[in-house]
Structure 1
Amino acid sequence: MDEKKIMCIGLVCLDIISVVDKYPEEDTDTRCLSQRWQRGGNASNSCTVLSLLGARCAFMGSLAAGQVANNLPDVTAENFKTVDLSDYKWIHVEARNANEQVKMIKRIEQYNDMMAAGQKITVSVEIEKTRDDLYQLFSYGDVVFVSKDVARKFGFNSPSEALKGLYSKVKKGAILICAWAEKGADGLCSDNKIVHSDAFPPEKIVDTLGAGDTFNASVIFALSNGKSLQEALTFGCKTAGKKCGLHGYDGIV
C-alpha cells in the first residue's frame, strides 16, 4: 500500500521577481538585471518543498485557467467535503478564511475520532497574517506555526517570549513553533521545555522569498517521519537557510 500523503491548503499565486544590483531607493528608477515568473503562495510553496524532499503530497486551492488572475476564491468547507481523508496522514492549513477552515478541521477531527491512533491525521496550521479573525485557528492545530509579525502584534519581541505568551491559546498537547529569521526558531510542546535551533544562513543571501514556507514544509516533513521537535527545527532552519542562497527552489536538496 502506498504511503499516505501530506496535503497543503491555501494560496497559490504568481510571483514576479525582479533582480537588481542593489535595493532601490524611494522615487528612483532602477535597471532590472533579470526577471522571472514563478508559482508562489505559502501553501503552494510548502507543497513544492515537500515534493522536493520526497514526500507524497497534494495541494488544495483555487487555480486560474490562465497564467494571471485576481481575487480567486478561497477553499470552502463545501469544497473540502470532496476530499477523501483516508488518503492523507497530515493536512497543513494556511490561515486565510478562518471560519470556513475551522469547519474543515472539525471534519478532520470527526474522522480522527473514528480512527485508531496510528491512522489519525495530524493537522498543522500556519498563522502568518496579523488579522484578528485568524487567531481562532490557534486552538485547532496539532502543530501551530506562528509568524514573527503575529508574535510582535501580541507584544512579544523574541520567539521564546512568543511561545510562552501564546501557548495557552493552543489545544492541549499541541506543538507551537515560531521562526524568527536570523534568530532561528523555537518550539514548545506540553512539557513546557522550549527547544531552539540557530539559523543557518548561506554564505551569500540571494533570495529569501519563500524561506518561511520552506521552513514550515521541512519541519512538517521531519515530524511526519517521526523526528523529534529538536531535529525538526534544526532541519527546518538548515533547509530554509539553504533556500536563501538559491534563486527559487531548485537545488534545495
Structure 2
Amino acid sequence: MVAKYKQIPLKILVIGTAHEDVILYVDKLDSVDSPQGSQKIEKRVGGSAGNTLAVLSQFPMTKTWLMAPMASKEASKFLVQDFESRNIKTATCVFRPNVEYHQVTYFIHTEDENSRTVVNYNSIKELTFEEFKRKLDYACTVEIASLNTSIPFNWIHLEGHHTDAKKMVDYIDSRVWRNQSILSIRLDRPYKNGSENLIQKADIIFFSHIFAESKGYNHKGVYDFLKVMSRFCKDNAYLFCTWGSSCGAFCYDNKTKRIYSASALQAPIVVDSIGADDTFVACAIYSLVQRMSPEGCLRFACELSSRKCAQFGFDGIIDEMNVLFRLFDQSESSSIIQSDSSSVIQSDSSSVIQSDSSSFIKKKKKLYNLLLNGLLRKHKIQKDPILNNVDGGFGFLSDDIQYDIINNDDLFTNRIRKISSINSINSINSINSSNSSNTNSMNNSKPFINHFKKW
C-alpha cells in the first residue's frame, strides 16, 4: 500500500551562471566563405544555474532564487524578464552597471550529423566572495522577516567552478540555520586543485563524466571514482555522477557504501540535448527533498532528463507527466510495478487491469491518447509508430482495432508499454479498477511526486 504523505516545500537558492543561449539550426556546415542558411533560430535563457531553475520552478510548492553575475540591468532585461516570468527571483543577482553585453552562448546545430558547435562570449567577471556574502545576508534577512521562518532556504546549490567557492561554502556552513538546510555542489569541469577540499562540507555532490575522466576514470570505473571521492565527503553524503545517454547515472551512498545506477531512456528522436544534465540535477534535488530513495531519485532524474532531449527547451517538461499521474491516481492501494525497465500497469491483485465499466474504458482511451498524441505532437510524426495508422489518434483507428485494444487487457497493456517506452515515460501509475469512479485525483494541488515514493 502506498501511504499518502504531505509534500515538502522547497525553497532553493542556486548560485552559478545564467546567460542567453542562441541556437541556430542548419542542415549542414558548408566550407568557409560559402553562403549558409538557417532553418530556425531560437533564443532562450541558458547557463547551468538558469537551466536548473527553469526546471525546478515548474515543480509544485517550489520557490526559487538565482544568484549570478550579470551585465547591467538594461542589458540583462531579457534574462530578468524570463526568470521573473517563471517565478525565479533575481533580487539575489549581482548586476555590473558598466558591462553593456550579457553573456551569450551560440549553438550551431547541424541536422545531418546531429552535432553542435558551441561559441561562447563572456565579458562578465565571476561572482566574488564579498558579493556573494552581501547578497546571501540580504536574502536571509528578507526571507526570514517576510516568511516568519528560522531558515531562509532549505537547499542551497552551488556551482563549484567559482574561484571563491571554498570561501562561499565555509560561509554557508557557518550560518546558524545550516543544519536545517542541504548544501549541494556541482563539479562538472576539470579542476587543477582544491576540489577535494571543496566537497568536504557538502551534503550532495554532482560530478560530471568529464570531471571523472579528468581524474583518470572511465565509465567502467565509476564505482572506484565515487568511492575515492567519498573519502573527502561527509559520512552521510550522496555522490552522483552522470554519464550521458550511453551509461546513464550513478549514485553512491556514503553512509551505506552502496552504489546505485539507472540507465538513460532512449528518446525516439533527440531534438535538443542542451541542458539535459541541468535537468538531471534539478530533478535529483526535488526528489531528494521529497525523501525519495537514491534508486528512485536516479530513475526519476534519468527519465526527466531523457524527456528533455526529446523536446525543445524546458517549458512543460513537468506538466505532461503531472497530468498523467494525477489522472490515474485512483486509490491508495495502487502501486507502480516495474518490469524490464518498462511499466506494467497492475493492481494489488497483481493482475492486468480488469474492468468493464464505461468510465474505466474512457480512462483507458484517455491514457492511450495522452501518450500517443504527446509523442506525435512532440516529434511531428504523422503516423502511429506501432500500427502505422495515419494521424495516429485513437479516433482514427477502425472500430475493430479500438475494440481489440480496449477490451483485450494483454493487448492494451503491451501497447501502452510500447508507447510509453517510445515516449520516454517508463512509470505509469497503476489503476485500481474497483475505484475507477473516484474523481478526486483531478485535484491540481495533489503533488505528482507521491507516485514515485515506492520507486
The Cα of 1:116 is off from its aligned counterpart by: 8.8
Asked if 1:109 is matched to 2:173, the reply is: yes
The Cα of 1:199 is off from its aligned counterpart by: 0.5
Give the superposed CA RMSD: 2.1
Asked if 1:7 is matched to 2:67, the reply is: no
Q: Tell which deviates more after alignment, 144-153 or 126-135.
A: 126-135
Asked if 1:59 is matched to 2:74, the reply is: no
Asked if 1:71 is matched to 2:123, the reply is: yes
Asked if 1:156 is matched to 2:217, the reply is: yes
1:95-120 deviations in whole A, cap 9, x for unaligned?
1224x222222222122xx4495xx1
Q: Distance in 1 between matches of 2:30 and 2:232?
A: 41
Which residue of structure 2 lines up, in the alignment, with residue 41 of structure 1?
A: 47
Judge conservation of contact 2:169–2:198 (CA < 8 Å) in 1: no
Judge conservation of contact 2:172–2:178 (CA < 8 Å) in 1: no
Judge conservation of contact 1:143–1:174 (CA < 8 Å) in 2: yes
**Which of 190, 194, 219 in structure 2 is aligned with 1:130?**
190
Asked if 1:220 is matched to 2:285, the reply is: yes
Cα separation, partners in 2 of 1:242 and 1:189, compared to 1, 3 Å: same
1:90-144 deviations in whole A, cap 9, x for unaligned?
000011224x222222222122xx4495xx1100000011122451323232100
Judge conservation of contact 1:49–1:217 (CA < 8 Å) in 2: yes
Of structures 1 and 2, the one with the larger relative CO (CA 8 A, separation 6+) is 1
The Cα of 1:249 is off from its aligned counterpart by: 0.6
Unpaired runs of 5+ residues, structure 2, are 1-7, 77-100, 103-121, 141-150, 319-455
Matching residue's letter, 1:37: K
Q: Distance in 1 between matches of 2:192 and 2:201?
A: 15
Cα separation, partners in 2 of 1:74 and 1:205, compared to 1, 3 Å: same
Cα separation, partners in 2 of 1:133 and 1:12, compared to 1, 3 Å: farther
Unpaired runs of 5+ residues, structure 1, are none
Secondary structure (helix, strand or coil) at the match of 1:56 reads strand
**Which of 162, 177, 184 in structure 1 is aligned with 2:248?**
184
**Which of 193, 206, 211 in structure 2 is aligned with 1:145?**
206
Cα separation, partners in 2 of 1:26 and 1:175, compared to 1, 3 Å: farther
**Which of 310, 324, 327 in structure 2 is aligned with 1:245?**
310
Cα separation, partners in 2 of 1:4 and 1:200, compared to 1, 3 Å: closer
Cα separation, partners in 2 of 1:237 and 1:36, compared to 1, 3 Å: same
1:173-206 deviations in whole A, cap 9, x for unaligned?
2111001002110000121110111111211101
The Cα of 1:46 is off from its aligned counterpart by: 0.5
Cα separation, partners in 2 of 1:245 and 1:126, compared to 1, 3 Å: same
Matching residue's letter, 2:261: H
Runs of 4+ in 1 over 6 A off after TM superposition: none
Which residue of structure 1 lines up, in the alignment, with residue 132 of structure 2?
A: 80
Cα separation, partners in 2 of 1:188 and 1:21, compared to 1, 3 Å: same
Judge conservation of contact 1:108–1:121 (CA < 8 Å) in 2: no
Which residue of structure 2 lines up, in the alignment, with residue 232 of structure 1?
A: 297
Q: Tell which deviates more after alignment, 52-61 or 142-151.
A: 52-61
Asked if 1:201 is matched to 2:262, the reply is: no
Judge conservation of contact 2:272–2:309 (CA < 8 Å) in 1: yes
Matching residue's letter, 1:177: F
Q: Distance in 2 between matches of 1:137 and 1:121?
A: 18
Cα separation, partners in 2 of 1:21 and 1:79, compared to 1, 3 Å: same
Identity of aligned residues (%): 28
Bigger Rg, structure 1 or 2: 2
Q: Tell which deviates more after alignment, 158-167 or 215-224.
A: 158-167
Q: Distance in 2 between matches of 1:28 and 1:184?
A: 40
Secondary structure (helix, strand or coil) at the match of 1:80 reads helix
The Cα of 1:225 is off from its aligned counterpart by: 1.6
The Cα of 1:75 is off from its aligned counterpart by: 2.3
Cα separation, partners in 2 of 1:244 and 1:26, compared to 1, 3 Å: farther
Q: Distance in 1 between matches of 2:10 and 2:286?
A: 13
Matching residue's letter, 1:73: K
Judge conservation of contact 2:160–2:187 (CA < 8 Å) in 1: yes
Q: Distance in 1 between matches of 2:44 and 2:21?
A: 5
**Which of 235, 240, 258 in structure 2 is aligned with 1:172?**
235
Q: Distance in 1 between matches of 2:233 and 2:30?
A: 42
The Cα of 1:34 is off from its aligned counterpart by: 0.6
Judge conservation of contact 2:153–2:181 (CA < 8 Å) in 1: yes
